[in-house]
Chains A and B, each alone.
Chain A
Amino acid sequence: MSNRIKPSSGVSVSGTRWTRLGNKLRRDWQLYLLLLLPIAFVFIFKYAAYPGLRIAFMNYRPARGFAGSEWVGLGIFEKIFRDADFLRALKNSLMFNFLDLLIGFPVPILLALLLNELRFRRFKRLSQTILYLPHFLSWVIIASVSYQVFKPDTGLLNVVMKNAGMIDKGIPFLTEKNHWAATYLLMAVWQNMGWGSIIYLAAMTGISPELYEAATVDGAGRMRRIWHVTLPGIRATMVTLLILNLGRVMGSNFERLSAFGNVNVREYQYQLAIYIYEKGLAGGNFSNATAVGLFQSLVGFLLVLSADRFAKSMGESGLI
């Protein structure tokens, strides 16, 4: 609270404290009235869902409802951690999220460095506009584009390479699991690289031109200027974004997975969002799906909290 009166100083002071709060309420009631709408929204559509989490501790039967289902304590969690499907989904999710981070994190930085070195302002502006575009397309559009470009016999890339005599048979970019993994990961990199570079370009505008001039006077070439001036200048942004992304390794995007999915690659495509949808909504096993969702939310939340702590302990501004 922004009220800075010491609470331990006796009745009369706490009286003024309440009076002051009363005065503020009277003065700022319009602000509180405005806040009522967003607060109502989060309570009706978010907080009201939390009580439903109790079915992770019940043997929930939709037909019997909450009252008719029995409590089983942590029984559901014991069950899912012996469930081979869940363990496979968890392993795949962690593996692909880690790879997403490993490949997806450096690319926007490299792109921002390249864009920052471009001299022709028109060209730079135009290419930025073009590179941001994929960020605004849905996963299903991106998957459709991938199908049109990567299909083994009709995809553009395979047709071009076949006609050029580089390959005899189409490369199964989307239907063999390891090729699929690479395509799946690279399409996300492609989608996010332009948009992700904005924040680094913003950080680069904050670097003083004098540093570059000094480096040039000292005889530093382009690479050395990038290494000794630009990169240190965006270090704080890199650390913050890395930590933010680390907090996301438990995530799982249903749209991305389902748009790219097919029977041949199910071994890798089977990740947490697919598990929750198939077992829960489609399969009717509400308790298992809720338990997995709760596990996912809880671990994600702890990761974000500890990442934030870590950022603050390193002297960064933190995220929350």
Chain B
Amino acid sequence: MSVNDAREPMLRQPRPGSLNRARLSDFVISAVILILCATCILPFFHIASKSVSSNTAVLAKSVYLLPKQINFDAYASIFRDGQLTHSMLYSILVTFLFTVIGMTVTICAAYPLSRSVLAGRRVFTTIILFTLYFSAGLIPEYLLYSRLGIINSMWVLVLPLAFSPYNMLIMRTYLETTIPESLYEAAYLDGASHYQMLARVTLPLSKPIMATLSLFYAVGRWNAYADARYFITRKALQPIQYLLSNMVLNSGSDAISLSEGAAVTSTPEVLQAATVMFATLPILLIYPFIQKHFVKGVMVGAVKG
């Protein structure tokens, strides 16, 4: 999505006298942007190359941006070891449930609160937003979750964070600014109930923001692992990011967190590179499809109108 297209034709015609200077500054700006883009991409090329290179090439530090002596041993040991693939599937399940529940609750909050006919919306909004600005903190939350019986279960990763007041705020602002009241009035005159308005008017018109917020929920859940560290001790219930964090933290001591017994033939360096790629892949796969929606969604939702 390109911003400011409206005034580009004007910029294409610099004054004759400043032609050379304009070209030079264009060149400098493009070069800076190129370098910044390179810092976002090259490290991943490097890690991807390491993950498919031979141990000897990696140990000899001869792998830069292209792989050497290509082999897939590291990925093979990841798949041989049950733990990482199990965590991957488990993380996908947790992320899916989290996103579905989060979006449902967010729509249930954002739609009524975006309707100006609703009496008491300031009170409800304040009740919801207060939790965003004042958190009880780690220990009271731990005590609450253990009373709710969700410590050491999958649900502690799914339920407590599933409803994000921040995302609700973005969606509410989006609905308020993009759906004109006259549409609701027309639907009302046709005898539509609030549920029918939600299903026939609001949801069809809010696809960009729903794609955006689903991405936010999914990525947020996929990436988080502090709560797994706090509230879960059973290894089978740990998400992939948590395993990766153990691996990274232990990388100084050469410990490998693949379970013992799996025949590991790769060096920690190669194995870690493969695990990083493994855990990043889902995001890299969905990102290009959703990114064209989210810029629009974020812009409309985040800029207060």
Contacts and interface: CB of A to CB of B under 8 A. Distances in A.
A85 B181 CA distance: 56
Contacts of A48: 144
Contacts of A138: 222-225, 241, 279
A52 B280 contact: no
B122 to A, nearest CB: 7
A203 B305 CA distance: 11
Contacts of B249: 258-259, 261
Contacts of B136: 46, 49-50, 52-53, 293, 297
A221 B18 contact: yes
Which secondary structure characterizes the binding site on chain A?
helix
Contacts of A44: 148
A255 B224 contact: yes
A114 B10 contact: no
Interface in B99-158: 104-106, 108-109, 111-113, 115-124, 127-129, 131, 133-144, 148
Q: How large is the interface on B (under 10, 10 to 19, 20 to 34, 35 or more residues)?
A: 35 or more
A292 B140 CA distance: 12
Interface string B161-198: 01101001000000000000000000000000111001
A228 interface: no
Given A118-B29, A121-B8, A160-B64, A301 B222 contact: no
B262 to A, nearest CB: 20
Interface stretch (A6-14, A97-105, A176-184, A276-284): A276-284
Contact of A45 (B120, B159, B226): B159
B123 A1 contact: yes
Contact of B46 (A114, A148, A286, A304): A148
Interface string A279-320: 011000010011011101110110011000000000001001
Contacts of B287: 133, 136
A52 B143 contact: yes
Interface in A99-120: 111, 114-120
Interface stretch (A67-75, A87-95, A193-201): A193-201
A194 B295 CA distance: 11
Interface in B62-80: 64
Interface string A23-58: 011011011101111110110111111111101000
Given A145-B47, A154-B269, A128 B1 contact: yes
A129 B288 contact: yes
A41 B119 contact: no
Contacts of B204: none
A242 interface: no
B291 A129 contact: yes
User: Could you say which of A148, A213, A292 has the most chain B C-beta atoms within 10 Å of its C-beta?
Assistant: A148
A35 B36 contact: no
Contacts of B203: none
B139 A28 contact: no
A35 B6 CA distance: 41
Given A121-B8, A133-B287, A204-B3, A276 B134 contact: no
Interface in B43-69: 43-44, 46-47, 50, 61, 64
Contacts of A298: 134
B139 A118 contact: no
A65 B295 CA distance: 49
User: Could you say which of B3, B40, B46, B104 has the most chain A C-beta atoms within 10 Å of its C-beta?
Assistant: B3
Nearest to B62: A159
A55 B7 CA distance: 59
A141 B29 contact: no
A79 interface: no
B252 interface: yes
Contacts of A2: 116, 118-122
Contact of B141 (A49, A198, A199, A277): A49
Contact of A28 (B26, B117, B144): B117
A46 B8 contact: no
A143 B279 CA distance: 13
A34 B251 CA distance: 48
A190 interface: yes
Contact of A121 (B5, B47, B165): B5
Contacts of B135: 46, 293, 297
Contacts of A277: 138, 229-230
Contacts of A111: 36
Interface in A209-243: 209, 212-213, 216, 219, 221-222, 237
Contacts of B140: 49-53, 55, 290, 293
Name the 4 nearest CB pairs between A and B, nearest first: A293-B137, A52-B140, A138-B223, A38-B109
21 contacts: A2-B120, A2-B122, A24-B117, A30-B193, A31-B111, A34-B194, A55-B140, A129-B291, A133-B287, A137-B280, A139-B223, A140-B241, A140-B248, A144-B244, A160-B64, A202-B298, A213-B10, A255-B226, A259-B249, A277-B138, A292-B137
Interface of A: 1-3, 21, 24-25, 27-28, 30-32, 34-39, 41-42, 44-53, 55, 111, 114-121, 123-125, 127-134, 136-141, 143-145, 147-149, 154, 156, 159-160, 190, 193-194, 198-199, 201-205, 209, 212-213, 216, 219, 221-222, 237, 254-255, 258-259, 261-262, 276-277, 280-281, 286, 289-290, 292-294, 296-298, 300-301, 304-305, 317, 320
